[in-house]
Amino acid sequence: MSRCIQCNVEVLDETERCPLCSSVLEPTVEVENMYPNVRIMVRRMMLLSRIYLFAAILLEALLVGINYYTLSETWWSLITGLILFYGYMVIRFAILGKTGYKAKTIILTIIAVLILVAVDFTVGYHGWSVNYVLPAGIIIVDTGILVLMIVNMRNWQSYLMWQIFMILCSVLPVIFYFAGIITAPLLTGLAAGYSVFLFLGTLIIGDRRARTELMRRFHIR
């Protein structure tokens, strides 16, 4: 058991730093204002995630069997498998993951878009996933970045790299359009324009802070 002088709490975990302020802890045997064992909840969630994974595998195996023996023309069991996989990703990545909420939100949105694209191909491919879902997902993520920048005004420049990443993502539908895969280019153009102008707007309005952040990120002196 250890004590954090800064927070004035006791920590039950076998750790050298305070989970609240990261200060070095001092060993103690006194019991006052005990901080709860933070590992217990994590262990429970890890157990639940393993139980979920095992149950999802059993359920998907059952659904694949039903799909096969009913001689269905559509492999709908693949869709259920993707949904179960997404649920597992939410538990392990969004809840148990140690990355920031920005990465969690954006990456889970991208995974959801990719799953919908896979669903489109599973049901015979009608093009709605690449024509509408893919560019709409890019617009949604860009809007989320904009909202997060407004909410987190003190650290808005940290979203510049995500904006660049979304510009790269918006290039993909454009390539699909010129390759003839996308046949309804309206949302594709809107997504690409939104990504580019969001970045340019941040760069122009942010001025020196934006340029400094980019130089720091790309190690330019």
> Residue 210 belongs to what domain range?
125-221
- The verdict on pTM exceeding 0.75 is no
Residue 85 lies in a domain: no
Residue 29 lies in a domain: yes
Enter the DSSP assignment of 132: I
> Average pLDDT for residues 178-191, to the nearest whole number?
94
Rounded distance between C-alpha atoms, residue 34 and residue 11, angstroms? 6
Helix (H, G, I), strand (E, B) or coil at 60: helix
Residue 135 lies in a domain: yes
Residue 170 lies in a domain: yes
Residue 140 is predicted with a pLDDT of 92
Residue 95 lies in a domain: no
Question: SS3 letters for 61-80?
Answer: HHHHHHHHHCCCCCCHHHHH
Residue 178 lies in a domain: yes
DSSP H or E stretch at residue 26: strand 26-27
- Non-local (6+) Cβ contacts of 71 within 8 A are none
Residue 31 is predicted with a pLDDT of 46
37 pLDDT above the threshold of 60: no
DSSP H or E stretch at residue 139: helix 134-151
> Average pLDDT for residues 122-144, to the nearest whole number?
91
Determine the distance from the C-alpha atom of residue 162 to the mean position of all C-alpha atoms in its chain, rounded to a whole number. 12
In total, how many domains does the chain have? 2
Residue 2 lies in a domain: yes
Q: Which of 181, 174, 203, 62 is nearest to 128 (CA)?
A: 181
> Average pLDDT for residues 2-22, to the nearest whole number?
74
Residue 3 is predicted with a pLDDT of 76
Identify the weakest region by mean pLDDT among 17-21, 66-70, 131-135.
Answer: 17-21
Residue 220 is predicted with a pLDDT of 79
Rounded distance between C-alpha atoms, residue 129 and residue 127, angstroms? 5
Residue 72 lies in a domain: no
Determine the distance from the C-alpha atom of residue 156 to the mean position of all C-alpha atoms in its chain, rounded to a whole number. 18
Residues above pLDDT 90, as percent of the chain: 48
* Residue 13 binned pLDDT confidence (cut-offs 50, 70, 90): low
Residue 167, number of CB atoms within 10 A of its CB: 18
The answer to whether 126 and 120 have CB atoms below 8 angstroms apart is: yes
Determine the distance from the C-alpha atom of residue 90 to the mean position of all C-alpha atoms in its chain, rounded to a whole number. 9
